[in-house]
A and B are shown apart, each in its own frame.
Chain A
Amino acid sequence: MSSRTNPLAALVEPEPVSVDLTVNGKRLRIAVEPRTTLLDALREMVSLTGTKKSCDRGECGACTVHVNGRRVLSCMTLAAMQEGKRITTIEGLQEQGRLHPLQAAFMEHDGLQCGFCTSGQIMSGVAMIEEAKAGWPSAATADVTRPFAPAELSKAEIRERMSGNLCRCACYPNIVDAIADAAGRG
């Protein structure tokens, strides 16, 4: 697709489309323009502002949510493509008022300063621990041919697996400690 495409085409707004999805356990039907990202839909239409919009280009990880249990970047996902999907945001991690163990670990280890990246860090960390439990290797794994055991989730492994979440306050040591702690308890 070249940028020579007629710019007037942009003036014709496509019709909103209706999407059924589950957000934090609640079934919702929303009407979105096709170009609406999942991030904008969550923040502006579902009023869940815990998911943060930062780079909007898939470069920082602040908008990380879970789709069907997997961590993804909601800024690079179209809401209209989430028909029937199960979305979890930072607001959906707690159970009956009790923080998720990784949320508690972030508080305990002081894994934040300004807090803007924190919901993305935690959503990413929760899913990352599950990936390690499922035996997924990473670029820090010396021998990818062997099954990966969760006990091998060293700080170097955590740093590599969390590299998609930037923290401009540079709380990385405390973030890694919090995740190591929660992974060890889990």
Chain B
Amino acid sequence: MHPFSLSRASTAAAAIAAHAQDPALAFIAGGTDLLGLIKDRAALPERLLDINGLPDMAGVQALPDGRLRLGALACMSDVAAHAAVRRVPVLAEALLSSASGQLRNMATIGGNILQRTRCPYFRDGDGLACNKRQPGSGCAARHGLNRGHAIFGWSDACVAAHASDLAVAFSALDANVIVRGRSGERAIPFSVFHRLPDGEPERDTVIERGDLIMAVELPAREEARASHYLKLRDRQSYEFALVSAAAAVATDGQLIRSARLALGGVAHKPWRLAAAESALRHARLDDVETLRSAIAASFADARPLAHNGFKVELAQRVALRALQTAGGRA
């Protein structure tokens, strides 16, 4: 493995200052993504700063106003087992369908949403064109093997899909990422936290050097309880999503008052189905044809690649079933 030095941060302020002034420094917490990137030479930091000792960042808090605050250093298994999180099934299910028991004991909430794409052209080594790995080198997946890649929002510079399940649930629930940087703390709405590739695919998110994720906060939403995360993959477990859906609904009997839908495995970021959500308002949960055509409203701009045309139909079916399962919990 590429060599690096390692030190420990004892305060957030010191960690932020060190990161801000050193472009070759990376934070390490769970390490489950970063160490793989270093082994694959997709990241070559010279200095790692261990942030696991930073205070007050590893807890889950149900706040008095109904918000749920997940500390950036909380590990996935602790969060999934927490009673307040389990009252939001889409969140617990997204966590539990991620990675494996061992990895969930290590990986953190902050690291999960920063994990980099599983595009094999990015992961598999030097010498292949990848604008994320080597900006300006091109995108081998654009006309290569792209079965697992995006159908929405891609550019010729990058067709990678985001790999996080948790991020899809966060997107549906309108989470905020609480980030502390050189100029203080800010809340970044989840819808703008991850970027589309555009002309700068090496940047996955809007955070900058010197930024430290402190927590992810979920606003109190009446849809949270009747919710579901459905993940489809090439094997039943321990695999990244081909397509996944996070659904949450508020209903009056069979009538949908409000629905939230986001997809995973289809874009460079969690893909929120805004048109479908509008069309679902006042639809009946037992009127499958109406649900189906409401979801289809969000697929007018789908642009499949050579090998992933199946995702266009599959994603609509996954969204429909996730919505129906969520509705069944109302």
Interface residues of A (CB under 8 A from B): 1-5, 7, 9-10, 12-15, 17, 33-35, 37, 56-58, 61, 64, 70-73, 76-78, 80-81, 124, 127-128, 131, 134-139, 141, 144-145, 159-165
Inter-chain CA distance A38–B113, complex, in Å, is 25
B43 on interface, CB distance cutoff 8 Å: yes
Look across to chain B and name the residue whose beta carbon is closest to the beta carbon of A32: B6
Contact call A134/B106, Cβ cutoff below 8 A: no
Inter-chain CA distance A160–B93, complex, in Å, is 13
Task: Give residues of chain B (246-269) contacting chain A, Cβ–Cβ below 8 Å.
Answer: none
Inter-chain CA distance A39–B41, complex, in Å, is 19
Contact call A137/B2, Cβ cutoff below 8 A: no
Inter-chain CA distance A73–B102, complex, in Å, is 6
Contact call A34/B102, Cβ cutoff below 8 A: no
Contact call A34/B133, Cβ cutoff below 8 A: no
Interface residues of B (CB under 8 A from A): 1-6, 24, 26, 28, 31-32, 35-36, 38-46, 48, 50, 52, 77, 80-81, 86-87, 89, 92-93, 96-97, 99-103, 105-106, 126, 133-135, 202, 236-238
Knowing A72-B106, A164-B238, the reply to whether A144 touches B86 (Cβ < 8 A) is yes
Question: B28, B43, B86, B237: which contacts A139 (Cβ < 8 A)?
Answer: B237
Contact call B26/A164, Cβ cutoff below 8 A: no
A165 → B minimal CB distance (Å):
8
Look across to chain A and name the residue whose beta carbon is closest to the beta carbon of B132: A2
Q: Which residues of A contact B5 (CB under 8 A)?
A: 14-15, 34
Of residues B41, B133, B237, which shows the largest number of chain A Cβ atoms within 10 Å of its Cβ?
B237
Known: A58-B32, A58-B36, A73-B102. 7 other contacts (CB 8 A): A1-B44, A5-B24, A5-B46, A7-B44, A72-B102, A145-B86, A163-B236
